[in-house]
Amino acid sequence: MLRVIIKTMKDIKQERKSLDELTRSCIEKHDNVTDSRMCIIDAEFRQGFDMMKDYPKTVTIFGSARLKPETAIYKRVENLARKIAELDYTVVTGGGHGIMGAANKGAFEAEKGSSLGININLPFEQTTNPYLDDTIEFHHFYSRKVVLSYAAEAYVYCPGGFGTLDEMFEILTLKQTKKIPDTPIILYGSEFWQPLENYFKKILLKEDQETISPKDLNLYVITDNDEEVLDIIKNAQIRTDISNTHHLGQK
């Protein structure tokens, strides 16, 4: 009952503009394409950041929109997300169905935590799942990806397609280049992820042709073990690195 009351209060409180309203407002304000598009991009970022301010402890879960509830990985992700939410973390996903819906469902049905969806407007495939305490929609993948990941305490990557791989490699690169702190990157599902690591070892670490360092394999953890995932999250530092002076080398 308490969760229902909280959800209702959040719905009443919700006053942010819809994506269509935001877009029309920017087009009306500016008479050229560059300025109107910059206005839309800026508004997407601002609305996303404003929403995330209310959720200081988050874990972002990535994965395919195409995997069905009947699949074993769907059920496993739903169960894992429920356990993460019970640690009083907000579970954040891309807001769609498949693995994203599984994660949101588990978090939504937990007694603690919250369930958020950072959705993308697409001509096909992506619709919002019903297991969300709050959601926001984006035109642009890049602004959406920043809001999905910029302040998470941990990242959990489940089996997925090009989008999931894109999101994973971006965070790996940011961590490798120390653009973000030593935030845990968890690759959940060894049957899916181990062949990718084998590729790293065989091709990217090929003798005399190395394109990464051996230590880069320590940037992530591949696991099937829920308890290992939960222990990693419990031991992860709460993010306090978000500032407007970090580009100057200041905290």
In a domain, 158, yes or no: yes
Question: pLDDT value at position 114?
Answer: 97
Q: What is the pLDDT of residues 194-206, one digit of tens each?
A: 999 999 999 999 9
Domain harbouring 150, CATH code: 3.40.50.450
The pLDDT tens digits of the residues spanning 151-182 come to 899 999 999 999 999 999 999 999 999 999 99
Mean pLDDT over 224-233 rounds to 98
Question: Does any domain span residue 166?
Answer: yes
- Tell me which of 11-15, 21-25, 133-137, 247-251 is least confident: 11-15
Residue 245: CB atoms within 10 A of its CB come to 8
Cα dihedral angle (35, 38, 43, 46), rounded to 10 degrees?
A: -130
Decide which of 230 and 15 is more confident.
230
* 97 within domain boundaries: yes
Look up the domain containing 193 and give its range: 58-239
Residue pair 214/197 in contact (Cβ under 8 Å)? The answer is: no
pLDDT at 101 over 90: yes
Terminal-residue alpha carbon distance, the chain? 42
H-run or E-run covering 201: none
CA 53 to chain centre: 15
CB 159 within 8 A of CB 67: yes
Q: What is the pLDDT of residue 220?
A: 98
Over residues 224-248, mean pLDDT: 85
Q: What is the pTM of this model?
A: 0.90
**Radius of gyration of the chain from Cα atoms?**
19
Query: Is there a domain that residue 37 lies in?
Result: no
Number of domains in the chain: 1
Lowest mean pLDDT among 12-21, 82-91, 194-203, 212-221: 12-21
In a domain, 22, yes or no: no
pLDDT of residue 244: 63
Above 90 in pLDDT, residue 18?
A: no
- CA–CA dist 188, 118 (Å, integer): 21
The pLDDT, as a whole number, for residue 14 is 55
Residue 247 pLDDT grade (very low, low, confident, very high; cuts 50, 70, 90): low
pLDDT of residue 75: 98
Asked if pLDDT for residue 7 goes beyond 50, the answer is: no
Residue 71 placed within a domain: yes
Q: Is residue 66 part of a domain?
A: yes
Question: How many of the other CB atoms lie within 10 Å of CB of 223?
Answer: 17
Q: Is residue 21 part of a domain?
A: no
